[in-house]
Amino acid sequence: MKFEIQQNLKSTSSLSTLVLFVSQAKGNGKETNSPPVCHGLNAELKKVFHEALVEKSITGAASEVVFFRQASLSGFRHVLFLGVGDWKDGDFETLRSLGGTLESAISQAKLEGVMVDLNSLSEKLPAEAVQAFVEGLRLAAYRFDDFMENQKGKSKDTKIVLSLAHVTKAHRTAIEQAQIIAETVCFSRWLGDMPGNLMTPSIFAEEAKKAAKGTGVKVTIWDKARIKKEKMGGLIAVNRGSNEEPRVIVMEYKGAGLKEKPIALVGKGLTFDTGGISIKPSPAMEEMKFDMCGGANVVGAILAIARLKLKVNVVVIVPSTENMPSGNAIKPGDIIHARNGKTYEINNTDAEGRVILSDALTIASEMKPKALFDAATLTGAMMIALGNIHTGYFTRDLDLKNEIEEAAKASGEMIWHLPLCDHHTRDIKGTFADFSNIGATRGAGSATAAAFLEQFVEKGVPWAHFDIAGTGWATGGRLTYNSKKGASGVMIRTLIELAKRYQ
Ligand code: BES
Ligand code: ZN
Ligand code: ZN
């Protein structure tokens, strides 16, 4: 997909479709019979579509697509009306969503390119609005088709020309930034969508390294010997059952002064989670290839932050392994020594995410970061609590909570703060070691997981944990710009917004 923005509205042979936004008339909260509104129709278009608008065969309802195949007007062969409902200035997420709706109309109708008349929405569209719309289009154009011979690479070169009466430098920058953000989200989705046999810890690390070329991000990959040397007892333990070597992906970006403390991002990189000896049931186990989405998304976040040239230092740490049952695998009851000197019992080998993250959080804390965020497909309980709409997050730091809420508001991603308190910490006390890797009671499984992670974050480090078990991959086609089923790249946009706040 290629984007351009220009002042004038002119058709060309490869650009035969005109897209117009149409909104429902505002009745000040009451029902209104007034026709829907489409600003900026020229005289010819006005004449032809007047009836359709008055009769409401075009209603302007949100996400409505009315496509006139043979319109041949003002030099355009096709005219597509995109309903925006009662869209209000500043509602950027609706525009992102409309970008997704438009992309699916484009791909269904197999259009080579479209001219989008942004004036039909508003003549003074702010740069953020254009950014959100472009993000939606580009995110929706993602296909995981590497293994589908006859679909591979389709819709890649669709041309999107945006037309706006008052184009500023900010609009052009917004289009560039939207593409950077969407491309990195799509890269993270691709990492997550790749099957476990083709996205092992070592391949994951190599792909991260390859993607970082030319971005200014330094990548260091720790092998098993280094991981042992770093006393990452948790990662070594989970890796015992696997024939694939573990890796830790360390990425550093220095956009600020060399002495500035970084923000640290830690992600769960489980390339496949069978549950280990506490093996999972077979139905839907294939979904556990997505268990590295937290890792994939923090990798995407640092790449985007670097490409956007944000003036902030960032470090990423992603522990990566498979969780497999075997004669060498860890067993329930085993006791593990963590890097920070604490010990814990493995009472369920399927609660492995927190185990591999533990020492990574300690290493990140030792850097005294300005803030530490982790993202992990950590608990099935999170899917039960919040489904796949909101990402649940935990932090005891109320200032950090405010920052996160602001950042998510700006990114359009939906999040929900959940409680983490000393009761949850008491729940993970061990019988034969300091802690247990599972809670003593059945409830609040996501909170006890967070309480376990907290044991490895040094006191005083502002820390928040995002449990993306429900939102890390999309199901049900809720967001128009996500795959119907596949990795979503969730939290990358929010992490970018957070990084901006530490500049
Ligand atoms: N990767 C899973 C969490 C998960 C489950 C994510 C389903 C998405 C969908 C994690 O490693 C896990 O299995 N957690 C256990 C923890 C339990 C044993 C305390 C779970 O949630 O069942
Ligand atoms: Zn598990
Ligand atoms: Zn897992």
Q: List pLDDT tens digits, range 93-119.
A: 999 999 999 999 999 999 999 999 999
Percentage of residues in the chain having pLDDT higher than 90: 87
The yes-or-no answer on residue 88 being catalytic is no
What average pLDDT does the chain have? 95
Taking 80 as the threshold, does the pLDDT of residue 28 lie above it? Answer: no
Q: Which one, of 133, 212, 210, 144, lies nearest residue 177 by Cα? A: 133
Cβ pair 95, 89 in contact under 8 A: no
Q: What is the DSSP string of 473-489?
A: EE-S--STTS-SSEE--
Q: What pLDDT, on the 0 to 100 scale, is given for residue 166?
A: 92
| pLDDT, average across residues 433-460 | 97
In the chain, DSSP finds a helix count (H) and a strand count (E) of 14, 20
What's the pLDDT tens digit per position in 453-490? 999 999 999 999 999 999 999 887 899 999 999 999 99
What's the pLDDT tens digit per position in 45-62? 888 899 989 988 999 999
d(C-alpha 407, C-alpha 404), whole Å: 5
d(C-alpha 219, C-alpha 210), whole Å: 9
Q: Decide whether any atom of ligand 1 lies within 6 Å of the 379 Cβ.
A: yes
- Local confidence band at 220 (pLDDT 50, 70, 90 cut-offs): very high
Q: What pLDDT, on the 0 to 100 scale, is given for residue 443?
A: 95
Burial of 210 (0-12, 13-18, 19+ CB in 10 A): exposed
d(C-alpha 318, C-alpha 232), whole Å: 12
Residues in the chain: 503
What's the pLDDT tens digit per position in 342-379? 999 999 999 999 999 999 999 999 999 999 999 999 99
Which pairing describes strands 486-487 and 473-474: parallel, antiparallel, or unpaired? antiparallel
- Local confidence band at 153 (pLDDT 50, 70, 90 cut-offs): low
What's the pLDDT tens digit per position in 223-256? 999 999 999 999 999 999 999 999 999 999 999 9
Of 224, 280, 370, 501, the catalytic one is: 280
For residue 339, the CA-to-ligand 1 centroid distance in Å is: 24
The yes-or-no answer on residue 46 being catalytic is no
- Local confidence band at 200 (pLDDT 50, 70, 90 cut-offs): very high
d(C-alpha 391, C-alpha 402), whole Å: 16
| pLDDT, average across residues 4-8 | 91
C-alpha pair distances (Å), 17 with each of 23, 45, 291, 469, 496: 19, 13, 41, 40, 34
**Pocket residue to mutate for ligand 1, from 268, 291, 350, 441, most atoms within 8 A of Cβ:** 350
Residue nearest to atom 6 of ligand 1 (CA): 469
Cβ pair 130, 175 in contact under 8 A: yes
